[in-house]
Copies of this chain bind each other. A is one copy, B any other.
Amino acid sequence: MILRLLRTLAALTLPAAALAQEAEAPSPAAIVATAAPEEWVAIGLQDLLVMELALGPDGQPRRVVIQLMPPPFSQGWVENIRTLARVGWYDGLSINRVQDNYVVQWGDPDGEDPAKAKTLPEGLTALPESAYSTMVKDDDPLTGERHADPYAGWSTFLRGWPVGIETDTVHSLDYEAWPVHCYAMVGVGRDLPPDTGSGAELYAVIGHAPRHLDRNIALVGRVIEGIEHLSSLPRGTGDLGFYETAEERVPIRSVRLGDTLPEGERPRFEYLSTESETFARYLEARANRRDAFFIQPAGGVDICNAPVPIRRVAAE
């Protein structure tokens, strides 16, 4: 192939050629670094959930920051989670399950025991099965490229999130869309009936995307910092990766909404607009790696192997 031949020639010559090659075939990260300031979108403090775990084995803090999902997706559960965080309901609970290549799950370890379960606050909403996907109206045009997807038929990015879509509806400009289970996504544990998940029990994906859960369980956000404090935890040895003893569980010190933290502690994050030109270039480069290490661009990428770029910015 011509591309391969050119790369071989470039490798034979010296630094100037290598630099030229780099300029011609930047990595996805290098493309993101060129984004204009206005292509980055601030994440509102009310959309940030800050979970402090007990200190790690090395005595260091373990902070996990979650971005809650924006409209039109899963807003009933997201509002429940805000309610639970505002009253400090999660404080003192624990991580109870770590299943390899699947999920980390946290909540009330006594939730199954009516005599010991922690009482839920007033004001939580029960959500129906229909809330697992959303009809997006034609005043919310789907601007991104649509990709063939083995689960959804099609997938794309919408307002910063990977979504599956179904477009063969009666009204061609409307479409049904739903968030998808990629690495680090956060969802709502539930019992067998689909309307039983409140947001009191949450999980994060720590393995290959379990996309079969899409539209079977509510997604409410994603871990944007500190996922390693979840993904590197010891795996549970009980059924489904539950810890078998209380000692194995990881205590949760607190879960706070970003806008309730003291001023100096409020985290600031931005995501790269998925409707931006730079994001389109990033996505194309994820699908066709041409930076120095690569000899064979794939020509495609799955929706969960192109994480939306997110960056921490200095507090105001």
Contact = CB atoms under 8 A, between A and B. Distances in A.
A13 B232 contact: no
Interface size class on chain A is: 35 or more
Contact of A9 (B191, B207, B234, B295): B191
Nearest to A178: B296
30 contacts: A2-B190, A2-B203, A2-B217, A3-B190, A3-B240, A4-B107, A4-B112, A11-B192, A13-B192, A18-B192, A100-B231, A100-B232, A148-B148, A150-B298, A153-B299, A182-B208, A192-B293, A208-B208, A208-B305, A209-B305, A210-B305, A212-B289, A212-B298, A215-B296, A216-B293, A216-B295, A228-B234, A231-B232, A231-B235, A232-B234
Interface of A: 1-6, 8-11, 13-14, 18, 57, 98, 100-101, 103, 105, 107, 111-112, 129, 132, 147-153, 182-184, 187, 189-194, 201, 203, 207-217, 227-228, 231-235, 240, 286, 289, 292-296, 298-302, 304-305
Chief secondary structure at chain A's binding surface: loop
A88 B212 CA distance: 43
Nearest to A293: B192
A197 to B, nearest CB: 8
A103 B233 CA distance: 16
